[in-house]
Amino acid sequence: MSYMENHFDKRLDPRLLVDGAKSVISLLLNYYPEKLQIQDTYKISKYAYGTDYHFVIKDKLKDLLKFIQTEIGEVNGRAFVDSAPVLDKAWAAKSGLGWIGKHSNLLSKKAGSFYFIAELIVDLPLVYDTPVTDHCGSCTACIDVCPTQAIIEPYVVDGSKCISYFTIELKNEIPPNVKGKFDDWIFGCDVCQDVCPWNRFSKPHHEPLFNPNLDLLEKSKKDWEDITQEVFQKIFKKSAVKRTKFEGLKRNIGFVRKVG
């Protein structure tokens, strides 16, 4: 994905994003849902069940920055939520919030990996935490079950082979060589996280804005195949699924649909 290469210097040096930056404050927010979609249906990645996380977390970060400024005084900083050239997982790992797993997601012994990562970059010197050790051990569950073999070796993911890329980022037609490999995923993919042993510790979030529209959870394959623009707008009004647009979702459904 070529867009990942843009602004590479800013990804390495936060001082190019915030004048006088001295610290990166990394934060996690759980999104693991209390209820999942029904069985045997087309699947949406859990992170997209509710309101688009960019808006939810950005507001929380702005409140946190205001709190810091109220308590400490003049502090210059910016909030980042997966929307700027910031190495989210690398900074979170460096701060000790978890380690980068073999599926390339950040893993925590206490919480698994179903959470969003965000940052405040500030011009405030702090006492810094340190990284934790890797606890993946000899486990290769995520590598073994990846439907498109996107995890080409431990800790290395070929993004151009990932179902999330095909169903969200790719704007053209999905290549025929991956037909039949999507395991009914039509927006994103959670397979590598679902099989991770550390995610047995995942607990439901407490953020009401992440709660899904019940229609989403109860839709059958037939319901998805018959979805209209009106229904799409109703269910995904404030969802990250809007990134793929109605036409993109219909493309994905058509691609994974088994005929005959």
Residue-wise pLDDT tens digits, 91-127: 999 999 999 999 999 999 999 999 999 999 999 999 9
For residue 120, the cross-strand partners are 25, 79
Q: Span 39-67, mean pLDDT?
A: 96
- Phi/psi region, residue 96 (left: phi>0; alpha: psi -120 to 50; beta: rest), is left
What's the pLDDT score for residue 82? 83
Give the single-character DSSP code of 166: I
Classify strands 43-44 and 185-187 as parallel, antiparallel or unpaired: parallel
Q: Check if 82 is active-site.
A: yes
What's the pLDDT score for residue 12? 62
What's the pLDDT score for residue 84? 67
Choice among 75-84, 182-191, 198-207 with the minimum mean pLDDT: 75-84
pLDDT at 63 over 80: yes
- Phi/psi region, residue 73 (left: phi>0; alpha: psi -120 to 50; beta: rest), is left
Buried b (16+ CB within 10 A) or exposed e, 64-75: bbeebeeeeeeb
Q: Is 202 exposed, middle or buried (0-12, 13-18, 19+ CB in 10 A)?
A: buried
What's the pLDDT score for residue 260? 45
Give the whole-number percent of the chain exceeding pLDDT 70: 94
Please pick, among 59, 63, 82, 129, the residue that the annotation labels catalytic: 82
Distance separating alpha carbons of residues 178 and 78, to the nearest angstrom: 40
Distance separating alpha carbons of residues 195 and 179, to the nearest angstrom: 22
Spans of all domains in the chain: 1-255
Q: Span 172-181, mean pLDDT?
A: 96
